[in-house]
Structure 1
Amino acid sequence: MSDNRPTILWLRRDLRLSDHPALEAAMARGGPVVPVFICDDLVEGLGAAPKWRLGLSLADLAGRLEGLGSRLILRRGDALEVLRGLVKELGAGTVMWSRLYDPQSIERDKNVKAALKEDGVEVESHAGHLLFEPWTVETGTGGFYKVYTPFWRAVRGREVAAPLSAPTDISAPKAWPASDSLDDWQFGRAMNRGAEVCRPYQRVGEEAAQGRLGWFMGEAVGSYDEARDLPAEDGTSGLSENLALGEISPRRCWHAGLRAMEEGKPGAETWLKELVWREFAYHLIYHTPHITEQSWREEWRGFPWSEEEDTEKVMAWKQGRTGVPFVDAAMREMYVTGKMHNRARMIVASYLTKHLMTHWRVGQKWFENCLTDWDPASNAMGWQWAAGSGPDATPYFRVFNPETQAKKFDAQGTYLRRWIAEGQKGPTKTALSFFDAVPRAWSLNPHMPYPDEPIVGLKEGRSRALDVYETWKG
């Protein structure tokens, strides 16, 4: 039975129109649909780069909605109070949203749902951020998977529904409620001058995401097995920023990967495994929410990492001035582009947690501030994987050597030259952009000499890390 009262669609990390189950369900009710984004405490608390990138996505989605005769209503404040106010203004009968799985979002959403239901408002939450809901994937004995490979085997043959089409129009209310101005929210304020440097590297919005997926499947997935490890190559899908904000759905990605497999493209299955690695991270954050703040393995909570965030060595790591070229190039890539190649992420995380003996939380929080593709589950699991404290993690005694990694995966030094200007006769534009992106307070310039020696030598740091590990373990 149709309900002609307006339905409020509360948008969060589902900033798209196609393959949007909550939007589809809202439209199926038959009445007007009012898309809303709320800048609440969780949004306000985002780091500089992800908050700025979110603003770009909201602007793109607002334009797409206007093209369908709809609008994106922006409101600031406590989510429950904002929704209650809109229900009253619109005479809405239903509030819908797409589910999120990090502990803060779950707590907020449970409270909102309970309160609105007490008010007599119908509330529905829908899937859309993942391929498989976390409670639907269990081991043979019950419970969740703690190791990736069995998780992959459990889901790889599961049926995944085909992605939904985008609507051609969205029914509007008789009168639109007032909306804040996105410009007034100043989502890019903390980025300062870095925003201008970083902007050309962002693929913003649903159209850009789908275009990139099409390019990757047509041109690059076949060589993905090898190219994904080469930081100087454009060999990955580059969709992490779009998946993080829901500008593209994982179902669309999954089916594109399956088609590529059926066409015999050799890298397609490996890419699907990476998509499921993202799923694995979200299943873990759902079942073990402490992964975001504590070492996942309880025994690692007493490991003697330093938790100081602003020591001379940690600041050198943050500034891309460790004297270890691969580490420094990776950090500089992040400031210029808002992203970092996955191979490089492993190197910089290993160097911080092992050579510098610094707690993974220090790195996790820094990435949370600097990555435009920041994702709460992937960031937490990635850092714990590298540190050795997480589920299915690399063993602590595996200490990446940035020098040998560079020789193996950047044999011609292309990646290093792309991002490190000091010492080059004709520095690349990308390398020089680093100095325009970072805070002025760092007082960095391309005429400074590059560090003569690493802040912690590779052999020295590895030996110390292993000695500390053996003493702690014993």
Structure 2
Amino acid sequence: MTDQRPILLWFRRDLRLADHEALTAACATGRPIIPVFICDDIVDGTGAAPKMRWGQSVGALADQLDEIGSRLILRRGAALDVLQQLIAETGAGAVYWSRLYDPACKARDTAIKSTLKDQGIDAQSFAGHLLFEPWTVSTKDGGYYRVYSPMWKAVRDRPVAPCLPAPETIPTPEVWPASDRLEDWNLSAAMRGGADVVTAHQAIGEKAAAARLDDFIEHRIDDYKANRDFPAVEATSRLSENLTYGEIAPRALWHAGWRAMEGGAAGAEHFLKEVVWREFAYHLLHHTPHILDSNWRPEWDAFPWNTDEDTPEVVAWKQGRTGEPFVDAAMREMYVTGTMHNRSRMIVASYLTKHLMTHWEVGLKWFEDCLTDWDPAANAMGWQWTAGSGPDAAPYFRIFNPETQLEKFDGDRIYRKRWIAERYATPTETALSYFDAVPLSWGLTPNMDYPERVVSLEAGRARALDAYSAREK
């Protein structure tokens, strides 16, 4: 007799219906499917901005499921306990989910799979968060890639399966289990007054993500390589936010990029390289998980970085009041929009770790709290790359000068005016939004004077170079 026990489909960072391998496999069985999202300690432990955005994505998925006659069951608690409760309540015989790759999620999922299988429950994990499972990409000698360029060459022409269609309907159970109310979780609580400011700049849910990709392919991919480093230009896809929560599959980006490249779009191959840069981050996370919280290169452990995040200079960096317009504009962009242009991320990271000689982990944790597109692998690799302690890292002598970088990439001063109010008689609306977004405890107002530099660029560079030279001896 065919098994008709329900399948619990555990959504995590795969909050979409299209190109969803676990969902497709569950639908193929013909058995009732109970979609579930669990607010466990991993979700609850997420930083303020990404936690808020995660909740918004959950809400969008719930609406999508309602539209096709299904529903999303919300529960709060330890993931194993919740799944076991739902199994007992519904008689479910299987739990399906999409894989994640950070150490905390891997440990949780491994324990859950083992326990459920021991209890006779079919527990299966599926691909979907990446183009290539990290263990399927290796060097000629069977090792892992430590440098990006060879990995790109290795996967560039590797076949990628076509995207799976979203199901038109999902088999439903005769009786639905009870669900929490999303609003009762209050996942945006830590954002306080900044929630409304940041939310206005998000593109939430699978439909918005698909529209964002279509718009990028139609209007900007041709000039992507030429314009992507100019923070005032609308040149990038901005899909990092949607990839973070799985509102769009990486295969959708890959195939759209390839079609554009075959159609002659000049910037398409560079866009594909950026998709693989994300893969490289997860490849490293899988093989060297210490990248999240330790120097990837252990020889940097003795480097004399400041680790006190409450020094006046670091506080000024956090507040976007260092006196360096590029740094300050970038930090303010993050507080208002929840994201930051990639060129700007390099500048603020270089400034913190080199001009201010502050440990990259201070910046990593701050971004983890403030970015709605926070991604554990990309965030860690980005900070360690800029600091010099990571894989494929920028050489120690590459100290970005925020003044000359600003003149090069914002020569018409649009970016700095967009985000800094104190320097202008008639500030832009976006610049003024910064004061609504940041904590009241900072006591900042638009009529304050713009600050003097907290450190001389020349002195900061010299100090960093002296420290790096001493490390080499």
Is the TM-score greater than 0.5?
yes
Q: Given that residues 2 and 30 in structure 1 are in contact (C-alpha distance below 8 angstroms), is that contact kept between their aligned partners in structure 2?
A: no
Q: TM-score, normalised by structure 1?
A: 0.99
SS in 2 for 1:75: strand
Q: State the alpha-carbon separation in 2 of the partners of residues 283 and 349 from structure 1.
A: 22
- The unaligned stretches of length 5 or more in structure 2 are none
Encode CA deviations 1:168-197: one digit per residue, 9 max, x unaligned: 011111110011110000000000010111
Asked if 1:139 is matched to 2:154, the reply is no
Q: State the alpha-carbon separation in 2 of the partners of residues 463 and 293 from structure 1.
A: 27
Q: State the alpha-carbon separation in 2 of the partners of residues 349 and 219 from structure 1.
A: 30
SS in 2 for 1:302: coil
Specify the alignment match of 1:188 in structure 2.
188
Following TM superposition, by how much is the alpha carbon of 1:131 offset from its aligned partner in structure 2, in angstroms?
0.2
Specify the alignment match of 1:471 in structure 2.
470
Q: State the alpha-carbon separation in 2 of the partners of residues 266 and 328 from structure 1.
A: 32
Q: Given that residues 368 and 374 in structure 1 are in contact (C-alpha distance below 8 angstroms), is that contact kept between their aligned partners in structure 2?
A: yes
User: Any residues of structure 2 matched to 1:381-400 within 5 Å, and which?
Assistant: 381-400=381-400
Following TM superposition, by how much is the alpha carbon of 1:423 offset from its aligned partner in structure 2, in angstroms?
2.5
SS in 1 for 2:295: coil
Specify the alignment match of 2:30 in structure 1.
30
Asked if 1:150 is matched to 2:111, the reply is no
SS in 2 for 1:9: strand
Q: State the alpha-carbon separation in 1 of the partners of residues 381 and 423 from structure 2.
A: 36
Encode CA deviations 1:311-330: one digit per residue, 9 max, x unaligned: 11100000000000000000
Following TM superposition, by how much is the alpha carbon of 1:309 offset from its aligned partner in structure 2, in angstroms?
1.1
Following TM superposition, by how much is the alpha carbon of 1:472 offset from its aligned partner in structure 2, in angstroms?
2.0
Give 1:413's aligned amino acid: R
Give 1:307's aligned amino acid: T
Following TM superposition, by how much is the alpha carbon of 1:120 offset from its aligned partner in structure 2, in angstroms?
0.6
Q: Given that residues 227 and 233 in structure 1 are in contact (C-alpha distance below 8 angstroms), is that contact kept between their aligned partners in structure 2?
A: yes
Give 1:30's aligned amino acid: G
Asked if 1:215 is matched to 2:222, the reply is no
User: Any residues of structure 2 matched to 1:72-471 within 5 Å, and which?
Assistant: 72-451=72-451, 453-471=452-470
| Cα 1:2/1:131, change in 2 over 3 Å | farther
Q: Given that residues 2 and 29 in structure 1 are in contact (C-alpha distance below 8 angstroms), is that contact kept between their aligned partners in structure 2?
A: no
Q: State the alpha-carbon separation in 1 of the partners of residues 86 and 100 from structure 2.
A: 22
Give 1:311's aligned amino acid: T
Q: Runs ≥4 in structure 1, deviation > 4 angstroms?
A: none
Specify the alignment match of 2:44 in structure 1.
44
Following TM superposition, by how much is the alpha carbon of 1:396 offset from its aligned partner in structure 2, in angstroms?
1.5
Q: State the alpha-carbon separation in 1 of the partners of residues 182 and 227 from structure 2.
A: 39
Q: State the alpha-carbon separation in 1 of the partners of residues 2 and 455 from structure 2.
A: 67
Q: Given that residues 3 and 30 in structure 1 are in contact (C-alpha distance below 8 angstroms), is that contact kept between their aligned partners in structure 2?
A: no
SS in 1 for 2:422: coil
Give 1:380's aligned amino acid: A
Q: Given that residues 231 and 410 in structure 1 are in contact (C-alpha distance below 8 angstroms), is that contact kept between their aligned partners in structure 2?
A: yes
Following TM superposition, by how much is the alpha carbon of 1:2 offset from its aligned partner in structure 2, in angstroms?
4.9
Q: State the alpha-carbon separation in 2 of the partners of residues 140 and 363 from structure 1.
A: 35
Following TM superposition, by how much is the alpha carbon of 1:199 offset from its aligned partner in structure 2, in angstroms?
1.2
Q: State the alpha-carbon separation in 1 of the partners of residues 88 and 350 from structure 2.
A: 52
Give 1:467's aligned amino acid: D
Identity %: 63
Encode CA deviations 1:29-88: one digit per residue, 9 max, x unaligned: 111101100111111100000000011101110000001111100001011011011111
Give 2:20's aligned amino acid: H
SS in 1 for 2:301: helix
Q: State the alpha-carbon separation in 2 of the partners of residues 311 and 42 from structure 1.
A: 30
Q: TM-score, normalised by structure 2?
A: 0.99
Following TM superposition, by how much is the alpha carbon of 1:310 offset from its aligned partner in structure 2, in angstroms?
1.1
Q: State the alpha-carbon separation in 2 of the partners of residues 31 and 154 from structure 1.
A: 40
Asked if 1:57 is matched to 2:49, the reply is no
SS in 1 for 2:447: coil
Specify the alignment match of 2:71 in structure 1.
71
Q: State the alpha-carbon separation in 1 of the partners of residues 367 and 388 from structure 2.
A: 18
- The unaligned stretches of length 5 or more in structure 1 are none
Give 1:450's aligned amino acid: Y
